Amino acid sequence: MNTKILRNLAFTIFTCYATAAVSETPHWSHDEQSTWWAIQDATQNVPLNYPFGACGIGKHQSPIDLASATINDTKPLNKLAALYDTDTTPTFFNSGHGVQVNTSENYAGALMIGEESFPLIQFHFHEPSEHVVEGKNFPAELHYVHINEDGRIIVLAVAVDIGEENPIFGTILDNTPHEERSKNVSAGIQINPAQLLPADLNPANLDYYTLAGSLTTPPCSEGVQWYLLPKVITVSAAQLEQLKGFYTSNARVAQDLNGRSLLSTH
Amino acid sequence: MLIKLFLAVSLSVSVASCFAESDGNKSKLLIDPSQQKRLSTDGSQQKQSLQPNASTENTDSQSSQNSNQGNKPSMIEYCRNHPC
């Protein structure tokens, strides 16, 4: 009887340890992005002990310098529609690397690419922008992250400039906790992600640039399709300072194109 | 005569302000046209010559999409807890 209890206890401890080892990723920061690929996970064996290897050896990495890419607007492309509605229970998340809003589990908002639907999972901000034009950053960049049923990742990116105050951006900043890895499940605060899109674009038929890329943070997984809006949104200088109060310089530098071109609808 | 002149000036000013306002509502562009490296778009021959490349791009895109399949639960959970 005692042996059985001890065996069950040992199995439980092992299971807990193994689960923790698999689910936790090694610590990383934007300051050390040139060596993300070399960060080791001591709990894994070769080659899994280099979980961020794609950051160094990947050939379709993001972000890029948009001015260095050839723009091809001769190919017919799918219609792009951001069908975001109001999320009544979003989660404001300080991810430890940026300001992020997670949509609720039952949120129906999605990005439509042609006839395919990609549910919006979260959106977050980088300061300064990750995509650059002739080496020059915008003050910030917004990424809408979508993942569909078979795990394909689509990111819709919007550059952020200094200008008029942005009310919904203010609401997000005011409700994001300052403590790293903390979440604030909104108490009655509703967010419509569509309100962050450029006002003079039609959400139901967006112009865009698109190219194949990767996650811009470890593990830098490739197979991510990027859609970049041709218009920028604005936040006030004070709001940008408020964003910097959370994180600053949380942007990856531009990566090599390796033969990729930008496809464009316009 | 003065009334006609006044009306003409008023009309010009109102038209000008109307155009100025519509410009003000436009967002700044992500990539300025002077910074864009465009593929030549003149003529259908250009489009036809791009078709083989375009189909190659489709194949590449499809293969990258396939390689991403099967990671639904883990990627959604991962991206809720990390920036992605």
Q: Least CB-CB distance to A74: which of B26, B46, B70?
A: B46
Contacts of A155 in chain B (CB under 8 A): 84
pLDDT at A10: 41
Stretch A199-225: mean pLDDT, rounded? Answer: 98
Closest CA to A234 of A139, A126, A96: A139
Question: pLDDT, tens digit, for every residue of A111-162?
Answer: 999 999 999 999 999 999 999 999 999 999 999 999 999 999 999 999 999 9
Q: CA A227 from chain center: how many Å?
A: 12
- What CATH number has the domain bearing residue A145? 3.10.200.10
Give the closest-approach CA distance of B13 to chain A in angstroms: 25
> Which amino acid, residue A195?
Q
- Please state, in angstroms and rounded to a whole number, the distance separating the CA atoms of residues A259 and A78: 22
- Note whether A253 contacts B: Cβ–Cβ < 8 A: no
Stretch A84-95: mean pLDDT, rounded? Answer: 97
Q: Do A151 and B69 touch (CB under 8 A)?
A: yes
Task: State chain A's mean pLDDT as an integer.
Answer: 92
What is the model's pTM? 0.80
Q: Is the pLDDT of residue A262 over 90?
A: yes
A60 among known catalytic residues: no
Question: pLDDT, tens digit, for every residue of A38-82?
Answer: 999 989 888 889 999 999 999 999 999 999 999 999 999 999 999
Percent of chain A at pLDDT exceeding 90: 86
pLDDT at A188: 86
Q: Strand A70-72 vs strand A116-126: parallel, antiparallel, or unpaired? A: unpaired
> What separation, in Å, do the N-terminal and C-terminal C-alpha atoms of chain A show?
74
Number of domains in chain A: 1
Which positions ≥6 away from A251 have C-beta within 8 Å? A30, A63, A126, A127, A128, A129, A130, A137, A141, A216
Residue A9 confidence class, pLDDT cut points 50, 70, 90: very low
Tell me the three-class secondary structure of chain A, residue by residue: CHHHHHHHHHHHHHHHHHHHHHHCCCCCCHHHHHHHHHCCCCCCCCCCCCCCCHHHHCCCCCCCEHHHCEEECCCCCCCEEEECCCECCCEEEECCCCEEEECCCCCCCEEEECCEEEEEEEEEEECCCCCEECCEECCEEEEEEEECCCCCEEEEEEEEEECCCCHHHHHHHHHCCCCCCCEEECCCCCECHHHHCCCCCCCCCCCCEEEEEECCCCCCCEEEEEEECCECEEECHHHHHHHHCCCCCCCCCCCCCCCCCEEECC
CA angle, A223 as apex, A219 and A226 as ends, to 5°?
100
Which structural domain range is residue A151 located in?
3-264
Closest CA to A231 of A136, A123, A94, A138: A138
Q: Least CB-CB distance to A159: which of B30, B41, B80?
A: B30
Q: Do A95 and B82 touch (CB under 8 A)?
A: yes
Give me the interface pTM, i.e. the ipTM.
0.85
DSSP state of B37: E
- Note whether A215 contacts B: Cβ–Cβ < 8 A: yes
Give the closest-approach CA distance of A7 to chain B in angstroms: 30
- Note whether A105 contacts B: Cβ–Cβ < 8 A: no
- Strand-pair partners of A83: A110
Taken in order A126, A130, A134, A136, the sign of the CA dihedral is: positive
Q: Do B31 and A66 touch (CB under 8 A)?
A: yes
Cis ω before A139 (30° cut-off from 0): no
Q: What is the pLDDT along chain B (84 residues), one digit of tens a residue?
A: 556 655 555 555 454 444 444 455 678 999 999 999 988 654 333 333 223 233 333 333 333 344 444 445 689 999 999 999
Give the closest-approach CA distance of A10 to chain B in angstroms: 27
